[in-house]
A and B are shown apart, each in its own frame.
Chain A
Amino acid sequence: MTREIDCTSPGKADSGRRGLSRNAVREARDFYLCILPWLVGFSGLTLGPMLVSFYYSLCEYNILQPPTWVGLANYVSIFTDDPLFWTALYNTAYYTFFSVPLGVAGSLALALLLNQAVRGVRVFRTIFYMPSIMPAVASSILWIWLFNPQYGLVNRALSLVGIKGPLWLADPVWSKPALILMGLWGVGGGTVIFLAGLQGVPRHLYEAAVVDGATTWQQFLHVTLPMLSPTVFFSFVMGIIGSFQVFTQSYVMTQGGPLNSTLFYVLYLYRVAFEFFQMGYASALAWILFVILVTFTGLQLRLSRRWVYYEGDLRR
């Protein structure tokens, strides 16, 4: 908290009855000048379109003709008369519920392994990171082959231990688990963040723990995990935001099928917007997603006060 006071103190200290000092004015001007490119981009390319899309969400709008005002009609029919909305929401929640915790746990576990002082650890770090820089379309095509029920590597491996693998992407029960499994391939991206977090854990805490007779597991539980809690928190927030917007995999691999089992929220939104030209309805869908994500993030921020520990934080 002290840092924050430092940041603002020049302005505050200099401010007399006649407002800001010349120094502070210049500083403020420089500040806005520096963030101007971002400000222009944000308001022109993000905030502006967002506000416009909110207006469209209250209209019937097909892009080609001027929008006509319909009030809350789009929202009403989404909630009361659109089974695909609920299907898409369920599929997305299912995907998020499994893929985010598994992804965070996977990233953390991998980071712990890759944090060992082993020969060639850098090579391993590179290898594990590679999938996350692969374009989603390319990895989707690759995984179509891995999940091929007849010739795919996944079912081949299962058959070696005597299990007859499912049809994966063609089976409405297994299609979502298949995509969750595929998502775990990219845990290397999160691992890098956890590795950075691990490097920041002060050695002396471990030394003290060893002196106190803590086992490796106890060290992990009482030193590593609390010190990493901001990273875990960050991973959860970003993971949920990301996985609610899952799109490419189902667009490329399953087109939402079979039986709408991989019809994710954004894929449905895309169809409504660009295949059926219901831009107003799609905008309403987008705003509902936005509200869901803001709620989740807000909830996490609230809960985080109970379990996230910041070094230098004076609250406890």
Chain B
Amino acid sequence: MRQVLRLLALALCLSLLATITTAQAAVASRAPVEIALWHDWTGEGGDGVVAVVDAFNKSQSNIVVKATVTPDLGTKLLASVAGRVPPDVVLFDRYMTGQYASRDALTPLDTYIARDKMDPGAFFEACWNETVYRGKVYSIPFETNSRVLMYNKRLFKEAGLDPSKPPETWDDLVRYSHALTKRDEKGRLVQVGFVPIWNGVSLVHYLWQCGGDAFNADATRVTFNGPEGVEALEWVVSLVNYYGYDNLVSLAAGFGSHLSDPFYTGKVAMKSEGCWMLSDMRRYAPNLVANDLGVAPLPRGKVRATIAGGFSLVIPKGAAHSDAAWEFIKFAVSKDAQILFARKAGTIPALKAAALDPQVAGDPLLKPFIDAMEHARYRPVHPAFPEVESYIYQAVDKAVHGEMSPEAALEWAAGRAQKVLDRYNRHLRR
């Protein structure tokens, strides 16, 4: 009997041992979760994404991120979410957060944020706020960019302007632009100061600098046609008219990129520019950067304002591995990863501690862009905004072509835009 019991005990022990070891083996041999990251960064920014992904994959063994460069990201993301086969995590333009969140295409991240005690205050305010739609957070800011005034000191000296005193206000900007403009004997432009409709600056920028905004606080009325908007567009049109719209087009016909960039070749003396141009500038205009490049905050209308654009990380609705995706997001917005990306890509980290770190802020050319974040604004997080903005662009187009007065053009655009906004709001309430 004892023999039997002993045998039984032994068998029990053995089986227990066996269970433990197989369990351990199962843990050890369990393949890491593979998650898909979609992004559309190439060049230096693409290297930055690869560097962050590699660092994450090396930092732990449970999750492997596979990054895919996805051109035409918006359309493909749309199709994949609609087809219920979305990637696990996407690096996408924060501007689109409202468009996708309102359509229930993104995973709200508030539970993750609360669970892991992520601090919204650690990010630039404008960046974080652009991720919030109707009280919920839908994306985590990954990087950002602002705009500054770049000017050519040599051209300032030639025009009798003090290169250590960049224009402070819109009035200065106009005065300097007049001084910096050169025409040939036939009246054609050969050099211009600041051209407000170039470099993709939206009227919304000037609207902010005048103290206005595109929507009212609860996004029920468009307000860009108010006195601030009219003042902004009148200012834009008067400066464009000083040059002559057709003259500007003719001058721009000779513009190229890289080596023949008009700012590098001295055809344009001042411009509003984002930090994404710095690497190109260092490569193709090293002399300009070394000797003649001036960088200053954008001149103010009534107030200072710059747009803060940039990219965020999101987890699409229906992603297969949202927990793993969140682990990657947490890593990507940690200080080290933020610095790593910023140094590769040359953009501003969305995490303040990384942006202010000497490894990033120590770059004298990037520093003014980081400083400008103090006045950063963001576009309304509302699904109607892209369509509304298309009417703002049309109003500018009509006004600079002289088809309508600035006031009438904005009135027209606001009429259309209000209908768009109403339609969306009606649909959202349903």
Interface residues of A (CB under 8 A from B): 60, 62-65, 68, 81, 83, 148-152, 167, 170-172, 257-260, 271, 274-277
For the complex, give the distance between the alpha carbons of A275 and B253 in Å.
28
B249: contacting residue among A60, A167, A275, CB under 8 A: A167
A149 in contact with B99 (CB, 8 Å):
no
Chain B, 384-430, CB within 8 A of any chain A CB: 386-387, 390, 394, 397-398, 401, 403, 416, 419, 427, 430
For the A-B complex, the count of residue pairs with Cβ-Cβ distances under 8 Å equals 59
Q: Does B78 contact A (CB under 8 A)?
A: yes
For the complex, give the distance between the alpha carbons of A285 and B253 in Å.
35
> Which has the most chain B C-beta neighbours within 10 Å: A64, A65, A151, A170?
A64
Chain B, 219-257, CB within 8 A of any chain A CB: 246, 249-251, 253-254
Q: Does B105 contact A (CB under 8 A)?
A: yes
| Given known A65-B104, A276-B386, A277-B99, contact A149–B253 (CB-CB < 8 A) | yes
Given contacts A81-B419, A276-B386, A277-B383, 11 further A-B contacts (CB under 8 A): A63-B79, A64-B82, A64-B104, A64-B105, A65-B103, A150-B250, A151-B253, A171-B249, A260-B397, A277-B78, A277-B103
B74 in contact with A274 (CB, 8 Å):
yes
B82 in contact with A258 (CB, 8 Å):
no
A167 in contact with B401 (CB, 8 Å):
no
Q: Does B100 contact A (CB under 8 A)?
A: yes
- Which residues from B are CB-within-8-Å of A277? 78, 99, 103, 383
| Given known A64-B82, A150-B253, A274-B75, contact A258–B427 (CB-CB < 8 A) | no
| Given known A170-B249, A259-B401, contact A64–B81 (CB-CB < 8 A) | yes
- Which residues from A are CB-within-8-Å of B75? 274
Closest residue of B by beta carbon distance from A257: B397
B430 in contact with A148 (CB, 8 Å):
no
B253 in contact with A148 (CB, 8 Å):
yes
Interface of A (DSSP majority class)? loop
- Which residues from A are CB-within-8-Å of B253? 148-152
For the complex, give the distance between the alpha carbons of A292 and B305 in Å.
48
Q: How far is the CB of A294 from chain B (nearest CB, A)?
A: 28
B250: contacting residue among A65, A68, A149, A172, CB under 8 A: A149
B254 in contact with A150 (CB, 8 Å):
yes
Chain B, 62-88, CB within 8 A of any chain A CB: 74-75, 78-79, 81-82
A259 in contact with B250 (CB, 8 Å):
no
For the complex, give the distance between the alpha carbons of A247 and B79 in Å.
22
Closest residue of A by beta carbon distance from B100: A64
A62 in contact with B74 (CB, 8 Å):
no
A68 in contact with B254 (CB, 8 Å):
no
For the complex, give the distance between the alpha carbons of A151 and B254 in Å.
7
B386: contacting residue among A150, A152, A257, A275, CB under 8 A: A275
- Which residues from B are CB-within-8-Å of A152? 253
- Which residues from B are CB-within-8-Å of A260? 394, 397
- Which residues from B are CB-within-8-Å of A148? 253
A63 in contact with B254 (CB, 8 Å):
no
| Given known A151-B254, A259-B401, contact A63–B78 (CB-CB < 8 A) | yes
For the complex, give the distance between the alpha carbons of A172 and B249 in Å.
12
For the complex, give the distance between the alpha carbons of A97 and B413 in Å.
30
- Which residues from B are CB-within-8-Å of A150? 250-251, 253-254
- Which residues from B are CB-within-8-Å of A170? 249
B103 in contact with A62 (CB, 8 Å):
yes
A149 in contact with B249 (CB, 8 Å):
yes
B246 in contact with A167 (CB, 8 Å):
yes
For the complex, give the distance between the alpha carbons of A167 and B249 in Å.
8
Closest residue of A by beta carbon distance from B249: A170
